[in-house]
Amino acid sequence: MNRNCSYCNEKLEGRVGKKFCSSYCRSAFYYQRTKEKEDTLFKKIDVQLKKNRKILKNYNRAGMAKIRKEKLIREGFDPKYFTHYWKNKKGQVYLFCYEFGFIELQEKDHKKYLLVVWQEYMK
At residue 96, the pLDDT reads: 97
Q: Is the pTM here over 0.85, yes or no?
A: no
Contact criterion met (CB below 8 Å) for 59 and 75: no
Contact criterion met (CB below 8 Å) for 88 and 94: yes
pLDDT at 69 over 80: yes
Mean of pLDDT values over 114-123:
92
Percentages of the chain per state (helix, strand, coil), in multiples of 5: 35, 25, 40
At residue 16, the pLDDT reads: 87
